[in-house]
Amino acid sequence: MQLSAKGHNLIPMITARNRPPVLPAIEAATNELGFNMASNDDTGALLRTLVASKPGGRIVELGTGTGFSTAWLLDGMDADARLVSVDESAEFQAVAREHLHDPRCEFVTGDGGQWILAQPPESIDFVFADAWSGKYTHLDETIALLKPGALYLVDDLLPQSNWPDDHPPKVERYLAEMEARTDLHVVRLDWGTGHLLASKI
């Protein structure tokens, strides 16, 4: 990590090294589809680092997209960890299925909220919520799935060019709700696309 000074504020900048080798192929397929919501390398490097702290863990990605973040998660997981990646778009998830052949990963095509409701409480070690489900809907139900000490990460909390006009108030409500919770330790990371990291108490 490099730090640059601006006045008295230090602005963290993550340098992503050793990108997963499969990423160029995923990026090419993503561009062909015109999909513009893939996570960036900053988020990927953070995911890889955090998930490495959960050996043998049950990992969940809500919002596969085309598999960009999925590749980073798999790159940080140990041999005994297992990942479930959920997305309602079969078209986008097909890219991930084509390029990520890993026995540790299960892809689920379907509604994220329904998947969340079908899981037992305190059964998950790490959640990356990169879709509406688990962030703007089914939030309480998602937090209930976390084991004590489990981690929860979201991105895209700083203004993005593809946000509709009614989206900023949703983000503000989400942030206020998260920061008011007493069952989590929460920290905002205002770099990249804007992240929030929480651990279950």
Does the pLDDT at position 9 exceed 80? no
- pTM of this structure: 0.91
The pLDDT confidence band at residue 37, using thresholds 50, 70 and 90, is confident
Contact 52, 83 (CB under 8 A): no
Question: Domains (ranges, CATH) in the chain?
Answer: 37-200 (3.40.50.150)
Using alpha carbons only, give the angle 81, 193, 180 rounded to the nearest 5 degrees.
Answer: 80
Using alpha carbons only, give the angle 75, 49, 125 rounded to the nearest 5 degrees.
Answer: 90
Does the pLDDT at position 22 exceed 70? yes
Specify which residues 198 forms β-bridges with: 152, 186
Residue 76, both tokens: 């940080």
Chain segment 190-201, per-residue pLDDT in tens: 998 999 999 999
Task: Tell me which of 35-39, 98-102, 184-188 is least confident.
Answer: 35-39
Chain mean pLDDT for the chain:
92
